[in-house]
A and B are shown apart, each in its own frame.
Chain A
Amino acid sequence: MGTIHTEQLTKHYGDTVALDGLDLTVERGELFGFLGPNGAGKSTAIRLLLDLIRPTAGRASILGLDCQADSVAVRAKVGYLPGDLRLYGGLTGQDTVELFSGLREHPVDTGYVRTLAGELELDLSKHANALSKGNRQKLGLLLALMSRPEVLLLDEPTSGLDPLLQHTVWNLLRREADRGATVFFSSHVMSEVEQVCERVAILRRGRLVAVETVAGLKGRALRHVGVTFAGAVPPPGAIDTPGVREIHRGGPTVEFEVAGEFQPLLVALADYHVTDLRTEQPMLDEVLLAFYTGAPR
C-alpha cells in the first residue's frame, strides 16, 4: 500500500457524479500530478482525502491511516493548499501561522517559517486582506509547508503566480520530495506537470482515464519531424510505416507526424540520402486534450 491509496473512492452530489470509483496509489517521495479539466473531480478527491467531505462509496488512506476514521491523525501529517484559497482577512500572516501552529501537537519551527517566508519573499506582518492574489497564494503555500508534512496535497499550487515564482515553488516541491515527502498536486497545465512530476493521473468527468509516467505520456505524444533529402525525395506513400504519417511536403523537405518511437521512421529513411532532420518537443497538451475530450491516443 502506498503513501496515498484509494479504493473505488466515489462521491455523488444528488444525481451528479463528482468522483467515480477512483483507484489510485501514490508512493512515498513521489511528485505526483493530478490532471484534469475544471470540474473533473480533482478538488473533490483531495477534499475526500482530508475528510472535508464524505465518500458515497469506497475508501482512502494516507500513510496507512484511514482518511475518515483517523482523519485528525492523517491531517497531522498532511499539508494542504486549497484550490480556492480563502484566508482570514483580519489576521496577519504571522497571526495565521500562530493560529494553525497552535492546533498542532508540536508548534511549528518559527525559524523554518522565517526561512520559507524569505524564500517566497513574503511579508508575514501584512494582513491577508492587504495581500495581492499572488502573495495570498504564497501564504497558503507557506501554511501547507511549515510543519514539514510527510504528505502535501496541493490544489493548483501555482495558480496566480508569476513564472519566476512558479519556478521557486517547483523547486520547493522538488526539495520536499527529496527529503521524502509525497507531493500530490492537481493542475490543468501540462507544462507544469511535465516540469515537476514523475507520474500523473488524468481525470475526466470524475473517472480516472490514465495513470502514467511523464515519459510514458511523452511516448504517446505526436511529434512533427521535418526531413530534408539530397537527391530523390521519397514519393507520396513510400514511407508506409505504422505510426508515421506524411503531413506536408515542399521541395526537398517532407514533414511527418510520428506517434511513439522514431525507430520505424529511421529504418524507412535508411534507403534515402538525408541531409537534415528536425524534430520538436512532444506535444503533451495534445495528448492531454485527447484524454480530456475522451479520445485518448
Chain B
Amino acid sequence: MRRFPVAAKTLRDYRAAFISIAFVLFAIALLDLLIYPSYKDSLEDFELPAGFEGFIGESPLSSPEGFIAAEFFAWIPLLLIVVAVIAGTGIIAGEEAAGTMDLLLAQPVSRRRLLLERFGGAALGLLAAALAGLPGFALGMLLVDFDLGFGRIIAATVNMVPVTLLFLAFSIWMSSALANRTQASIVSIGLVVAAYFLNLIGASADVLEWPRKLSPFYWADGSRVLVDGFDYARAGGLLAVAALFVLLALRSFEQRDIASSAGEWRLSSLLLRFVRRTREEAHTEPPAHPAEY
C-alpha cells in the first residue's frame, strides 16, 4: 500500500467501520447456521405471504438456500451499503468539510488519482468486510449439518460486492458533485431506500414489474445466486454502472472548485443570501419613471 498512500489512508480512516461490519457479518453468518437446525422443522409448514420472493427468492424458507437468503443475503447488503455511503460521502465532501482537502491537493497528486485511490481504498475495505461472512459460514458448516455447497455461499457472498460498489460509487459521485456531505448522504441514502423498496414491492405488484428492473437490488438478487450460481452478466452490469458513476464523479470533481472548510454551511449560506436579497428587494422603491432604470 506504500505506492497508494491515499488508499491506505482511506482504509485507515474507515477501519473502525470496516472492522465492525466485518465482525457483524462473521457473527451473523455463524449464528444463522447454528440456529438453522432448530428452525428447520418449524419452517417446513411456514408459508410466506405472496410476493415475498422479492425479499428472499422462491426457495422454501426451510431449505438451506431459502433460510440464509432470508436471514443473511436479503438484508446484509444493506449494512454494507450503509457503510459504503458513509465512506463514499466522507472521502470527498467530508474531507472538504474538514478543511484538509486544501493541504492534500496542494501535493503533487491529481484529482483523478486522489478520487480513484479513495474509491479503491474504500472498495478494498468493503470487499474485505463482505468476505468476512465466509469464515462464519465455514465454521458453522463444520458444527451443524447444512446441506448447501460452500461454492454457492462464496458466490452469494461475492455477489454482494458489485451492488455495494455501485452505491459506493454513486455516493462518491454525489459527494463530488454536491461538495456537501449532508446533502450527498441524504440523496444517496434516499436512492438506496427507494431502490430497495422498489425491488421488494415490485415483486408483488404487476404494475411495478418493469420499473423494478431499474433497482440494482433486482440484479443483485442473492437468493438466485444460491440456487443457480454466480451470474457474471448481472454482476458485470452492476460493476459497469458503478464504473459509470466513478466516471461521473471524476468529471464533477475535476471541473469544480475545492470548497473551503465552510462547505458544509453552503446550504445555509445560500438560504441566508436568498433571505437578504428578498429583503433588499422588498425595501427597494420602484423608480418613479421607467427612464430611471
> Contact residues of A with B, CB < 8 Å?
47, 50-54, 71-73, 75-76, 78, 80, 82, 84-88, 90, 98-100, 102-105, 140, 143
A54, B100: Cβ atoms under 8 Å? no
Q: Which of B227-258 contact A (CB under 8 A)?
A: 255-258
8 closest A-B pairs by beta carbon, nearest first, are A86-B99, A102-B5, A76-B108, A80-B106, A53-B257, A103-B107, A52-B258, A75-B108
A contact residues around B102 at 8 Å (CB): 47, 52, 80, 82, 84, 86
A contact residues around B258 at 8 Å (CB): 47, 52-53
Q: A52-B257, A53-B257, A103-B6 are in contact. Are A82 and B103 (CB under 8 A)?
A: yes
- Shortest A38–chain B CB gap in Å is 14
B contact residues around A54 at 8 Å (CB): 255-257
Q: How far is the CA of A47 from the CA of B9 in the complex (A)?
A: 24
A-B contact count (CB 8 A): 69
A contact residues around B3 at 8 Å (CB): 102
Q: Is B20's CB within 8 Å of the partner chain A?
A: no
A contact residues around B108 at 8 Å (CB): 72-73, 75-76, 103-105
Q: How far is the CA of A86 from the CA of B264 in the complex (A)?
A: 15
Q: How far is the CA of A80 from the CA of B100 in the complex (A)?
A: 13
A50, B99: Cβ atoms under 8 Å? no
Q: Is B289's CB within 8 Å of the partner chain A?
A: no
Q: How far is the CA of A72 from the CA of B110 in the complex (A)?
A: 6
Name 19 A/B residue pairs within 8 A (Cβ), A-sorted: A50-B106, A52-B105, A72-B110, A75-B105, A76-B108, A78-B106, A80-B102, A86-B99, A86-B103, A86-B261, A87-B100, A88-B9, A99-B5, A99-B9, A103-B109, A104-B107, A104-B108, A105-B108, A143-B103
The B interface, classified by DSSP as helix, strand, loop or mixed, is loop
Q: How far is the CA of A102 from the CA of B108 in the complex (A)?
A: 10
Q: Is B183's CB within 8 Å of the partner chain A?
A: no
Q: How far is the CA of A283 from the CA of B279 in the complex (A)?
A: 43
Q: How far is the CA of A85 from the CA of B261 in the complex (A)?
A: 10
Closest B residue to A49 by CB, please name it.
B106
Closest A residue to B260 by CB, please name it.
A84
Q: How far is the CA of A86 from the CA of B104 in the complex (A)?
A: 10
Q: Is B28's CB within 8 Å of the partner chain A?
A: no
1/0 contact string of B1-28 vs chain A (CB within 8 Å): 0110110010011000000000000000
A52, B106: Cβ atoms under 8 Å? yes
Partner among B5, B12, B100, B255 whose Cβ is within 8 Å of the Cβ of A86: B100
Q: A54-B257, A84-B260 are in contact. Are A75 and B100 (CB under 8 A)?
A: no
Q: A52-B106, A87-B100, A103-B109 are in contact. List 12 more A-B contacts (CB 8 A).
A: A53-B257, A54-B256, A72-B109, A75-B108, A82-B106, A84-B99, A86-B261, A88-B100, A98-B5, A102-B3, A102-B5, A105-B108
A80, B2: Cβ atoms under 8 Å? no
A contact residues around B110 at 8 Å (CB): 71-72
- Shortest A244–chain B CB gap in Å is 48
B109, A86: Cβ atoms under 8 Å? no
- Best-surrounded residue of B6, B98, B106, B257 (most CB of chain A within 10 A): B106
